[in-house]
Amino acid sequence: MQTLADGLRLQMDALDYVLLALYFITVLGVGLAARRSIRNSVDFFLSGRSLPAWVTGLAFISANLGALEILGMAANGAKYGIMTVHYYWIGAVPAMVFLGIVMMPFYYGSKVRSVPEYMRRRFNRPAHLLNALSFALAQVLIAGVNLYALALIMQALLGWPLWTAIVLGAAIVLAYITLGGLSSAIYNEVLQFFVIIAGLLPIAIIGLVKVGGFSGLFDAVRQTKLGDAGLHAWQGTAGSDNPLGASWWGIVFGLGFVLSFGYWTTNFAEVQRGLSARNMSAARRTPIIAAYPKLVIPFVTVIPGLVALVTVKGLGANSGDLQYNNAIPLLMREFLPNGVLGIAVTGLLASFMAGMAANVSGFNTVFTYDIWQEYVAKDHPDGYYLKVGRLITVVGVVVGIGTAFIAAGYSNIMDYIQALFSLFNAPLFAAFIIGMFWKRMSAWAGFWGLLCGTVAALIVYVGYKWFGWFTFGSDLDESFWGAGIAFVVVAIVTVIVTPLTRPKPDAELDGLVYGVGRHDLRADAIAGDTAWYRSPVLLGSVALLLAVLFYLPVL
């Protein structure tokens, strides 16, 4: 077993710095180029609804490849073993396919500009305001996670204090988002997708070579505290005797349904990429195209986490350089030669910038359209809201700098961010999905359900972390149960409140509820959209089949 000395300082040379500088120049250049296409607020916030499916699809997955995906999933790979793949094959792909096939027609067809706007039209203004405020809060908190992860790499690269690295990373993202809006974010996300993969692949490949391939890796994992259980996805899930400390029920219902569908189908930072597509067909294919790379991302996240587990002596400390969060930087420091090291550092920085850019672009859109325009300053010229959007981008980044220090208090940022999803996404998804398929659900049922579900998730989290009221197998197990409880509470409150309140008439629900009005899925089709191989149903079915097949070797 190799031993890594404490300290994350990467030994970069001139070639590494040149590669890094070229990337930053390109990112800012994309922002300047995108600025020329910004003529109104729709261009700034939704790219003028003009982008092809392959661009929005790659941007969709790249927006997710932030700190949660790279540092968080590698940390989970080291901490929980192969069970981490649940976050991909049951915890992402089914929801992404559902979004494309079932829900995107409601979003895109109704021409809403955001998820909270859909909540206003389906329910009422109180539900809309609650959703808008909770989403804005969630985005600046998650942006802080990405900023913190970015700062970790900058700190390792240059040896700078954490706060200096956080401010510098925030300034770079702020520059290109303020210049070019969503178009700048999306085109940079397409670039960043390829840079991320190019940066992470060498870590996985060289790491596997060092430990003797997959067989050598698996043999070494069996000798760690995870044991053989760390090499199986479903073994031991009849109870909680497994590395994740979660039962199949928590994994399937809490993660695979509530958390997963809550994140992928109602998180505007992701949905926004689909809304920027040029037509309905492209919008529906956006998350489904993204599902294909999502299937194989574990190779560059979970596998390096396992490599770190068997090569980094003492990994898993509560503080210092040997925290699980540092698995990837430690491997980079040990295994990568110069030149390749520069590509890997660039890939990591790209991933964190893509994640933060998604948070910031979602935040500025919702704040401007759903809070400022709706409740503070109505009926102003379009140019006014464009200025507000640019200004609030600055505010969002500044607040994100503050929330980065909250993320710094967690040794595993995945635990923290999953707690955020259980608080904000799970109750929203419950209200959303019930309201989309149950016409009778009233506006006030939507508001009270969303509020009570959020409070229930908060009580579970605070009771577990602060007061010891509840016991779970792990922090992630708490997020599964918290999400599930929030969903159930929303459903119960909805069933109780709906009969006591008046439903909306069908005329107000046209195109917003399943079975009330119809969206013509081919009305805006262009040449090639009707080809059989572009069918969202076919593409989605193949992605689901692959997810099942990928499980077979690690059952």
Concatenating the DSSP letter of every residue in 5-66 gives: PS-------HHHHHHHHHHHHHHHHHHHHHHTT--SHHHHHHGGG-B-HHHHHHHHHHHH-S
Sign of CA dihedral 389, 395, 401, 404: negative
DSSP 470: -
* pLDDT of 499: 95
* pLDDT of 206: 94
Spans of the chain below 50 pLDDT = 1-6
**Phi, psi angles (nearest 5°) of residue 277:** -70, 160
Residue type, 197: I
**Which pTM does this prediction carry?**
0.87
Report the distance separating Cα 70 and Cα 331, nearest Å.
13
Report the distance separating Cα 171 and Cα 163, nearest Å.
12
Q: Which of these, 425, 113, 396, 415, lies nearest to 266 by C-alpha position? A: 425
Report the distance separating Cα 223 and Cα 272, nearest Å.
45
Strand partners, 277: 51
Q: Between the CA atoms of 69, 72, 78 and 80, what dihedral angle is there, to the nearest 10 degrees?
A: -90
* pLDDT of 3: 37
Report the distance separating Cα 84 and Cα 72, nearest Å.
10
pLDDT tens digits for range 32-63: 787 777 777 777 777 767 789 999 999 999 88
pLDDT tens digits for range 377-431: 998 998 898 899 889 988 888 888 888 877 777 666 777 778 888 888 889 999 9
Q: Which of these, 373, 494, 385, 491, lies nearest to 125 by C-alpha position? A: 373
- 284 burial type by CB count under 10 A (0-12 exposed, 13-18 middle, 19+ buried): buried
